[in-house]
Amino acid sequence: MSAPRPNPLPLSTPYPPSQRRAPVGTVAKPLPLIIDCDPGHDDAMAIAIAVARPELKLLGVTTVAGNATLPRTFENARRVLALLGAGDTPVAAGAAVPLVRPLFTAAYVHGESGLEGAEMPEPGGRVHDAGAVDLIAKLVEASPEPVVLAPLGPLTNIALFLRAHPELARKIAHISWMGGAIGEGNVTASAEFNVYVDPEAAAEVFASGIPITMVGLDVTHLARMGAAETERLDACGNRAGKIFADLLRYFLIFHRERYEWEFCAIHDAVAVAHLVDPDLVGVVHAAVDVELGDLARGRTIVDWFPQRLAERRRSAAADVAVSIDSARFADLLIEAIATFD
């Protein structure tokens, strides 16, 4: 009997080199951007990049229940806008619950308010009373250029917008979403928080045909800030730097207790930062499916292997982030915060 032949296939197929398909803003031609978020410490830092960088034109901010309940995420977004001197930015509250399932929040990460750790200013922003879906639709319709959506929480608002206004999908240039994971989740072994909260919404958005970049835990767990970065924020000498340093100190408590890390992962800010720096993250072109069952609820199944995709008659329609320049990210974020009063 002959010896068994070794399996010619590697246990893990290597990422093929892939060019990013997300647009990049420039000072000469800023990207029109709508942020949909559930603030959240890292959401606040993402908004700071969007307001500070001249390569982005922040059209509006919408909020969804996720890290905290909707009244809290809405208030938090308005407080962040006030802190950043962006009080004239349109802001609207969206979905208070996921499409199908009961709401699951992350008070264990962000505190009961969703933004614990700092004394925030009174809420600002120009409130759009007709809600998030209506605000997104009006901003997209009015924009002379296709708009980039940056959802930083569960995709409930984006799914509801696409249901209500399918005719506007053609005016969405790209979706840059923080969520999902190729590997291990952070709520369960299978699922990252944003997709775990509303997997049905995520499945609808990935099936919409709109170009999308998934910025998942595989990359955002490397977007690290710790004591040294906290000191740099304090050293900015402005109110924003002091408040973001305080927020970072609180955020570090969770990461120490849960992971025994001496740094925290600034997940959401990566989904905005890479829109101004094309070399910040590397991507692979892949098909992404969302698991809707109970055991692996919210798992993002990422497949980039050409033969398998051909057999499944699937295309590698999504960009999935697989690498990040962590030092470059920290510099970009701190420099953005340093620009404020």
The catalytic residue positions are: 267
d(C-alpha 311, C-alpha 177), whole Å: 28
265 — phi, psi (to 5°)? Answer: -95, 125
**d(Cα 246, Cα 130) in Å, to the nearest integer?**
34
Give the β-pairing of 318-324 and 281-290.
antiparallel
Upstream peptide bond of 40 is cis (omega within 30 degrees of 0): yes
Residue 124 has a CB neighbour count (10 Å cut-off) of 20
Distance of CA 150 to the CA centre of its chain: 6
* Sheet of 56-63, strand order: 126-127, 90-93, 56-63, 31-37, 147-151, 172-178, 212-215, 318-324, 281-290, 300-303
Please answer whether residues 238 and 245 qualify as being in contact, where contact means their C-beta atoms are separated by less than 8 angstroms. Answer: no
Instruction: State how beta strands 147-151 and 281-290 pair.
Output: unpaired
Cβ atoms 56, 276 nearer than 8 A = yes
How far apart (Å, rounded) are the C-alpha atoms in residues 242 and 231?
Answer: 9
